[in-house]
Structure 1
Amino acid sequence: MDAPFTPWPDEFADRYRKDGYWSGLTFVDLLDQRVASQPDQVAAVDSIRTLTYAQLRENALLVASGLYENGLRRGDIAVVQAQNTCQYLILMFALFRLGVVPVCALPAHRKVEIGYFCRHTAAAAYIHPGGGEYEHIAREVGNDAAQIFTMTDVMAMSGDPTSLPEPPTASELALMQLSGGSTGVPKLIPRTHDDYLYSVRAAAEVCELDSETVFLCALPTAHNFPLSSPGVLGALYAGAQVVYAEDPSPETVFDLIDRHRVTFTSAVPALANMWMDAAQARGWMPEFLQTLQVGGAVFDSERAREVPKILGAGLQQVFGMAEGLVCYTRFSDTDEVIYRTQGRPASPADEIRIVDETDQPVALGEPGHLLTRGPYTIRGYYRADDHNATAFTTDGFYRTGDIVRQNASGNLVVCGRAKDQVNRGGEKISAPEVEQWLRSHPDIVDAAVIGLPDDRLGQRSCAVCVTTNPDLTAKAVRAFVRHSGLAHYKIPDLVRFLPELPHTAIGKIDKKLLREEMRP
């Protein structure tokens, strides 16, 4: 059987501890510290409950003891599929206390993904939100997990917290995140308390969170970005308050921002655009919002410049991966850096290489493949020896699959994905580059560029657009790209329109499905 977890070599682990990156603390210790210093401070709020830090720990201990009485033990794995509520936070800290490792499944995952996670990890439990659709998934994967619980089941559990065994150590696994790959089921990303808590601490410090921060979690809370960059866990590290949004619609989010005096929130570009459009249409500007983080995809630079005037908040761009490295623009950066780059690494111990196809370094400012290594970047996926052999270099650098260039100030500009390109008659077209121009069209909400088979060129480029203007034509779109100043071969050969783009369960545009749907 493949190795479940690839540890950092001793020389690196010793260095990270010596230099203070790894503190030897766990997320259990983090919550204990918050309770000791501010027990009555509000930790989290959702539509039905408010939890202080003391109440969060009390509830987590009761759930932990209940799960223990139901047979879960330190080192077990639980596939957890939950929604944006305080219950998720209670469950996570209960599992942290038990030393049970949660797999952070998303609400959008269905039986294929859930079944795979359960089988691949020999899961001791599958915990889901309950309700018709999830009950159906539970029945479908019933033989893949040792036990199945709804979130209601779990929240009703209680036992004697004094009977709990010793908590895990910092070197043990805290949780498993999911890769963002667009083909097949996501790979599992093992994160220890040491490395994940350091990433949370570094993010909270870079983003200048403090006990006065009110963080709105509108993206799915299990995803790495809203969970730890700095996200929910970063807010708790800073002693701040988390506000959960049941959905990311402007109707829900705007009310929560005003009612709870939200100061900090995060979004992907499509969501940020939706909020900005709705804010303009309603003449709404939040009074207390200080920072809008945008990550997950490249944010159009001209649209980025509009954030302060539309939302009255500063923009922070974020680029990273659940495997580790996360980059941020800083609040002290120039406008050029904030609006036109995706920032620089959170930690001084983050190592990056930008290389060509032969792993040789490229010149400063030239695009290349991003490789990274550091105190919170994994050394291997969970039980994936064959994949790890190609996903990591022999000296431990992770091959991110991103094409970036680095400017003189050390900030990265994301140019695209290594394989997200169209080979049109030997000319390589970066799909994200063309997509960025398409999204800057006033009538185009979202766009994806894909390659379709062509007898003459090998591939033709096809732009699939989501538009707010039913009268927009393919000819007009092609003319817009032509007038942008891009090379002629980058003008889409074909333009198609859809009411919305398909997405994978992890939230990426499903280009594989698009190619199948658009194939002539």
Structure 2
Amino acid sequence: MCASLPGRGSWKPPARIPNGPKYRPSLAPCCVPAAFRPETEPLHVFVSTHYPTQSRFALRARKLHSFLFQAEQVMTIEFTHWPPARERLYREKGYWIDKPLTRALEEQAAMRPDAPAILCGERRFTYAELDRLSSNLASRLAAAGIGKGDTALVQLPNIAEFYIVFFALMKAGIAPVNALFSHRKLELGAYASQIEPRLLIGSRQHELFMDDAFARDLGKNLSAPLLTLFAGEADPASSLDHWIATPADKAVPFSPTGAGEVAFFQLSGGSTGTPKLIPRTHNDYDYSVRASAEICALTPQTRFLCALPTAHNYPMSSPGALGVFHAGGCVVMAPNPEPLNCFSIIERHGVNMVALVPPAVALWLQAAPDHLAALSSLKLVQVGGASFAEALARQVPQVLGCKLQQVFGMAEGLVNYTRLDDPDEIVFTTQGRPISPDDEIRIVDEDGEPVAEGQPGMLATRGPYTFCGYYRSPEHNAQVFDSEGFYYSGDVVQRTPEGYLRVVGRVKDQINRGGEKVAAEEIENLILLHPDVTHAALVAMQDELLGEKSCAFIVSRNPDLKPPVLRRHLLALGVAEYKLPDRIRLIETMPLTAVGKIDKKHLRKLSSPSSPG
């Protein structure tokens, strides 16, 4: 007798197996991993009627039947959910609309199919093309057996393919980590070990992927086969361009994960040694994007210059490219914020909005006086990612001839904006107020007690788009969340009577190097791997352009150890170059506090750029 498997009914899937591959559903009566299943033949369980129902053969058949039926169920990615009462509140108030992040693209492709969505160099992509190309890739990934509940590691530069890939993965229910293009083997290896990706998408322009050696090494440590696709690859089998350009030979269904499930992972700028991943759901991220687009008054006429790394939360969703797509505007790509190239792109495409970090603004202010005609279309400059000096803030409208908007946000959730109709004093002296009326803010002292209004204190927050826990990091979560679910970001802020925040410092052991966060503990631990180093401490030192740079203090058993040797040591470990210490000072003994800890306050005083080292 040939017995097909029963339907899903009310069966609930078991918990996802940690660090293991999950099985995909199919149109077959039951399912095994797609890589091992013939595309055209369903798999059946044969139970012989020649044996009693309690025979060992029948029991084995039923066990196989049960295993395969459970394998059919899609396993979702585990993460810390919002409490049910808050989830209900966010839905009742219309923050969460239970639609996937693909919603905006599909709506715009239907309403204005021929309108430009992305301008990238000489290439132009309409909304219809962005929708079609992302569906091509989603269909091919589904045909390869990669879909709901799977994860991907993506590393692409500022090119249109970043957004094509992002929407394709959202359509197919695949949750990516979007690594920065400056990341190297240390960071990529850490992300891969946490998410166990089934898919790697990179660029042949990156030093790690000029050949296949690193991708092979990455795959060896994973529990499931790793599909690799590369931009700039000649071989069609692994060419991202080919997979995007052509749909699958045979139609295979695909669909996003549920709106309340993990859509993708953002990167934390945390202070600990291991990079932390931030699960973002469709519901929470979509609300942040929609609300940001409204606050920033985006329209189909918006032309947004994306010059910061596309993977950063700020140019992605504050309101960023996703906000522009929501409004039906156009994202104009630039490889980086270098002023003269950006000015040329602004003039050529009529860019009217850009998001920058303070060091880039400083360079733009220096270069702009000789190129004012090129900037005539610019209406709004957003500045975020790091503290912005009031003196520079006041120069933006004077020199660039446009409105300034300050942005203070975090990949974990909370985003603050100065509003477009705010008085100049608020725009120049604060970093904005929260997006949502239900963004709950507490500012507390070291004992957790609320500080008086206007006094500095530690920022704690929770709300409809602020996450509830780092991915698979229970110990760290216990340190940064309180019993009421408030997240302590490590920022020190003041709140004005009007509810605006002013960032005055932080409690995290972290260097903010021009908007890129460097965790002191991570670099210290790597320096200590050098055989000649006995003690290491990394601290921030002030810098006029970047805001902060890093200074490493080293105690060495070898008096002849030189800074270039330590930099080569770190590069050999695969550290991203922006994390390399800007200065390295060798000292005889490490200063300690009364309780025996390294006295970083004293080291910061010694880290003045004018001091020898």
TM above 0.5, one fold? yes
Q: Is 2:220 aligned against 1:143?
A: yes
Cα distance in 1 for partners of 2:554, 2:252 equals 63
Match of 2:431 in 1: 342
Cα distance in 1 for partners of 2:175, 2:381 equals 31
Cα distance in 1 for partners of 2:406, 2:158 equals 23
Q: Which has the larger radius of gyration?
A: 2
Cα deviation, residue 29, structure 1: 2.0
Change in Cα spacing, 1:220 to 1:449, as seen in structure 2 (3 Å) is closer
Match of 2:100 in 1: 26
Flag structure 2 segments of 5+ consecutive residues without an equivalent. Answer: 1-17, 20-76, 233-238, 512-538, 556-570, 588-612
The one-letter code of the counterpart of 1:335 is: D
Deviates more, 1:289-298 or 1:246-255: 246-255
Match of 1:427 in 2: none
**Structure 2 residue aligned with 1:156, among 237, 242, 246?**
242
Contact 1:78–1:103, Cα closer than 8 Å, also in 2: yes
**Structure 1 residue aligned with 2:267, among 175, 178, 202?**
178
The one-letter code of the counterpart of 2:80 is: T
CA deviation profile, 1:79-134 (whole Å, cap 9, x unmatched)? 11011111111111110110000111110111111111111111111110123613
- Across the aligned residues of Structure 1 and Structure 2, the Cα RMSD in angstroms comes to 2.6
Cα distance in 2 for partners of 1:259, 1:417 equals 40
CA deviation profile, 1:439-486 (whole Å, cap 9, x unmatched)? 3xxxx67554869699xxxxxxxxxxxxxxxxxxxxxxxxxxxxxxxx
Change in Cα spacing, 1:103 to 1:506, as seen in structure 2 (3 Å) is farther
Q: Is 2:162 aligned against 1:118?
A: no
**Structure 1 residue aligned with 2:307, among 197, 200, 218?**
218
Contact 2:143–2:250, Cα closer than 8 Å, also in 1: no
CA deviation profile, 1:367-397 (whole Å, cap 9, x unmatched)? 0000000000000011111111111111111
Equivalent positions of 1:393-432 (< 5 A) are 393-419=482-508
Cα distance in 2 for partners of 1:93, 1:50 equals 17
CA deviation profile, 1:245-276 (whole Å, cap 9, x unmatched)? 12221232111100110011101100111111
CA deviation profile, 1:123-149 (whole Å, cap 9, x unmatched)? 111110123613154244242452222
Match of 1:70 in 2: 144
**Structure 1 residue aligned with 2:176, among 76, 90, 102?**
102
For the residue of structure 2 that corresponds to 1:27, the secondary structure is: coil
Change in Cα spacing, 1:122 to 1:355, as seen in structure 2 (3 Å) is same
**Structure 2 residue aligned with 1:257, among 331, 334, 346?**
346
Deviates more, 1:64-73 or 1:127-136: 127-136
Contact 1:318–1:343, Cα closer than 8 Å, also in 2: yes
Cα deviation, residue 70, structure 1: 2.1
Q: Percent identity among equivalent residues?
A: 43
Cα distance in 2 for partners of 1:447, 1:224 equals 21
For the residue of structure 2 that corresponds to 1:141, the secondary structure is: helix
Match of 1:198 in 2: 287
Q: Is 2:369 aligned against 1:280?
A: yes
Contact 1:126–1:147, Cα closer than 8 Å, also in 2: yes
Number of corresponding residues: 455
**Structure 2 residue aligned with 1:81, among 149, 155, 158?**
155
CA deviation profile, 1:159-212 (whole Å, cap 9, x unmatched)? 158522343221121110000125424210000000000010111111111111
Cα deviation, residue 506, structure 1: 11
Match of 2:203 in 1: 129
Change in Cα spacing, 1:507 to 1:10, as seen in structure 2 (3 Å) is farther
For the residue of structure 1 that corresponds to 2:129, the secondary structure is: helix
Cα distance in 2 for partners of 1:243, 1:191 equals 25
Contact 1:115–1:144, Cα closer than 8 Å, also in 2: no
The one-letter code of the counterpart of 1:343 is: G
Cα distance in 1 for partners of 2:586, 2:314 equals 31
For the residue of structure 2 that corresponds to 1:156, the secondary structure is: helix
The one-letter code of the counterpart of 1:149 is: L
The one-letter code of the counterpart of 1:75 is: G
The one-letter code of the counterpart of 1:359 is: G
Contact 2:552–2:584, Cα closer than 8 Å, also in 1: no
Change in Cα spacing, 1:261 to 1:85, as seen in structure 2 (3 Å) is same
Contact 1:276–1:310, Cα closer than 8 Å, also in 2: yes
Match of 2:360 in 1: 271
Equivalent positions of 1:352-371 (< 5 A) are 352-371=441-460
CA deviation profile, 1:19-39 (whole Å, cap 9, x unmatched)? 100011112222111112111
Change in Cα spacing, 1:121 to 1:410, as seen in structure 2 (3 Å) is same
Contact 1:344–1:412, Cα closer than 8 Å, also in 2: yes
Match of 2:319 in 1: 230
Cα distance in 2 for partners of 1:451, 1:225 equals 29
For the residue of structure 2 that corresponds to 1:242, the secondary structure is: strand
The one-letter code of the counterpart of 2:428 is: Y
Cα deviation, residue 329, structure 1: 0.5
Cα deviation, residue 286, structure 1: 0.8
Contact 1:175–1:190, Cα closer than 8 Å, also in 2: yes
Contact 1:217–1:245, Cα closer than 8 Å, also in 2: yes
TM-score scaled by length of structure 1: 0.82
Match of 1:385 in 2: 474
The one-letter code of the counterpart of 1:513 is: P
